[in-house]
């Protein structure tokens, strides 16, 4: 296919994605510092006075949260209590499917006192709900509940187009094949000499040229991270494409998520939460001794009613993997081990490890402050690429109309020489 064909593909893909990318880029810049911003906006919910006394057991805090909402579901319990921070419980109030409301309840971890709540799904820009709204806008377009997962699906499709367009755009920055080899000065230039201008912004080239160079150079310098955001976006929102692709390219193990669902949800398992933690600890210790890793700290105990299993997650070492964690999944009635995974597990495939790294890079969950700054800057770069791309398309459309109106004039005002 000709270069002109891929130019058209790039333009139409860019126009289709532009609105979505501006939204996710702008919100992503803020969400890179979501925790810091949220604490500044809501210290009454998220912080408590530091004390010398030990915090309550996390499962005791979960029980107190459940007592405040009789009949509601609390299907996970964080096992980490950070000094000076409140304890959060996710409470699903009565309802089925989309009708169930998710409430975030905040407790004082030292006394169990209720500090306040906020609801998922509220469309509000007040300080309490601002970060939640931006998060929903970033991942689901904050569409109304009756649309189900349509917003997430749209963003997944946009991310898939973006992934493909990353490679198309990169190809278009490469110097075209030489057509006139009789030009000695042109023939003397190496391939790199002809590609080098694509990495630069020519500030004295006029407004249109600067806009074009920003679009091309920003795209090249940030290309690797753009691909990370694009493909991880497919992973977050379009699993039906992501998993088969990763499995075909790198191998992908369907670990605990592949456990079969029960005919009926198990609402009253034999093991309560405290007993489940004891069983989970024993199973984790057994896996650690067998595989040669150590457990640093427990992070989460969760219950899946649809499959009738508990899962205990813990930080593990030694490893250099992103999101280094070990997990055991076990039957909620018998305590029998159903699945286990840990970094370096031979049952894992390269696709699992790559996906874990992509997710952590996307969410700035590794490498601390430098990564958060990079993700924040990348959000603005994505907005700039979208805006400059639309501007280029508008100018080219204007140039086309000029040629049509003037009987195919050689060049319209502001029309670039580039083949982009």
- Residue among 134, 36, 27, 17 nearest 380 (CA): 27
Considering the chain, what is the average pLDDT of its residues?
88
Exposure letters 122-158 (e unless 16+ CB within 10 A, then b): eeeeeebbbbbbbbbbbbbbbeeeeeeeebbbbbbbb
> Is the pLDDT higher at 403 or at 63?
63
Which of helix, strand or coil describes residue 47? strand
* Residues facing 316 on adjacent strands: 295
- Cα distances from 274 to residues 59, 300, 336, in angstroms, run 7, 13, 16
According to DSSP, residue 309 is labeled E
pLDDT > 90: what percent of the chain? Answer: 65
Cis peptide before 318 (omega within 30 of 0): yes
198: nearest Cα among 176, 166, 227, 226? 176
Q: Considering only residues 2 and 185, tell me which one the structure prediction assigns the higher pLDDT.
A: 2
- Residues 241, 374 contacting (CB under 8 angstroms): no
Asked whether 106 and 116 are in contact (CB, 8 A), the reply is yes
Average pLDDT for residues 205-209, to the nearest whole number? 83
Tens of pLDDT along 12-26? 999 999 999 999 999
**In sequence order, what are the residues at sequence separation of 6 or more whose Cβ sits closer than 8 angstroms to the Cβ of residue 5?**
none
pLDDT for 420 equals 45
- Residue 407: its pLDDT value, please? 63
* Mean per-residue pLDDT, 314-326: 69
Strands laid side by side in the 102-107 sheet: 87-92, 102-107, 114-119
Averaged pLDDT for residues 227-240: 96
Residues 6+ positions from 331 with CB-CB distance below 8 Å: 308, 309, 338
Average pLDDT over residues 234-249: 95
Give the three-class secondary structure for 365: coil
The number of residues in the chain equals 420
Q: Is 343 exposed, middle or buried (0-12, 13-18, 19+ CB in 10 A)?
A: buried
408 pLDDT exceeds 70? no
**C-alpha 178, offset from chain centre:** 41
Digit-coded pLDDT (tens) for 71-103: 899 999 999 999 999 999 999 987 555 556 889
DSSP 24-38: HHHHHHHHTTHHHHH
Angle between helix 223-237 and helix 207-221 axes, rounded to 10 deg: 70
* pTM score, whole prediction: 0.86
Partners of residue 78 on adjacent β-strands: 300
State the Cα–Cα distance between residues 115 and 241, nearest whole angstrom: 42
In angstroms, the CA 216 to CA 335 distance is 57
What pLDDT score was predicted for residue 417?
43
Listed in order, strand segments (DSSP E) in 208-289 are: none
Using CB atoms within 10 A of its CB, is residue 312 exposed (0-12), middle (13-18) or buried (19+)? buried
Whole-angstrom CA distances from 280 to 24, 73, 198, 308 are: 38, 21, 55, 14
Q: Where are the domains of the chain?
A: 43-126
User: For residue range 286-297, what is the model confidence (pLDDT) as tens digits?
Assistant: 999 988 888 889
Query: DSSP letters along 126-140, please?
Result: STTTHHHHHHHHHHH
- Convert the pLDDT of each residue in 268-290 to its tens digit: 999 999 999 999 999 999 999 98
Higher pLDDT, 418 or 345: 345
- pLDDT tens digits along 375-397: 999 999 999 999 999 999 888 88
CB atoms near residue 53 (< 10 Å): 7
- Residues 199/217, Cβ–Cβ less than 8 Å: yes
């Amino acid at each position: 296919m000709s270069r002109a064909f891929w130019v058209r593909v790039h333009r139409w893909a860019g126009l289709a994605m532009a609105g979505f990318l501006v939204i996710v880029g702008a919100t992503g810049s803020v969400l890179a510092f979501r925790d810091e911003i949220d604490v500044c906006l809501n210290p009454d919910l998220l912080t408590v006075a530091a004390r010398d006394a030990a915090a309550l057991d996390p499962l005791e805090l979960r029980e107190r949260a459940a007592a405040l909402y009789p009949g509601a579901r609390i299907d996970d319990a964080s096992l980490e209590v950070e000094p000076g921070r409140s304890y959060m419980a996710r409470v699903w109030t009565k309802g089925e499917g989309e009708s169930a409301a998710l409430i975030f309840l905040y407790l004082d971890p030292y006394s169990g006192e209720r500090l306040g709540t906020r609801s998922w799904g509220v469309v509000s820009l007040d300080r309490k709900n601002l970060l939640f709204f931006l998060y929903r806008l970033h991942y689901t377009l904050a569409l109304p509940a009756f649309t189900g997962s349509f917003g997430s699906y749209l963003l997944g499709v946009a991310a898939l187009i973006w992934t493909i367009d990353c490679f198309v755009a990169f190809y278009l920055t490469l110097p075209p094949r030489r057509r006139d080899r009789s030009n000695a000065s042109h023939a003397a230039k190496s391939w790199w000499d002809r590609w080098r201008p694509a990495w630069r912004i020519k500030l004295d080239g006029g407004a249109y040229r600067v806009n074009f160079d920003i679009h091309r150079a920003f795209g090249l310098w940030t290309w690797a991270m753009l691909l990370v955001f694009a493909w991880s976006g497919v992973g977050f929102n379009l699993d039906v494409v992501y998993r088969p692709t990763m499995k075909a390219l790198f191998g992908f193990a369907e670990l605990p998520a592949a456990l079969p669902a029960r005919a009926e949800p198990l609402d009253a398992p034999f093991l309560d939460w405290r007993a489940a933690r004891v069983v989970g600890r024993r199973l984790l210790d057994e896996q650690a001794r067998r595989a040669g890793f150590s457990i640093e700290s427990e992070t989460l105990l969760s219950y899946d009613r649809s499959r009738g299993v508990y899962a205990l997650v813990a930080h593990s070492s030694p490893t250099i993997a992103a999101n280094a964690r070990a997990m055991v999944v076990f039957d909620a009635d018998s305590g029998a081990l159903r699945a286990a995974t840990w970094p370096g597990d031979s049952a894992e495939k390269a696709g699992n490890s790559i996906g874990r790294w992509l997710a952590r890079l996307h969410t700035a969950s590794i490498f601390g402050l430098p990564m958060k700054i990079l993700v924040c800057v990348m959000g603005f770069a994505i907005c700039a690429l979208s805006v400059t791309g639309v501007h280029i398309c508008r100018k080219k459309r204007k140039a086309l109309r000029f040629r049509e109106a003037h009987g195919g004039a050689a060049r319209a005002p502001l029309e670039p020489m580039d083949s982009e």
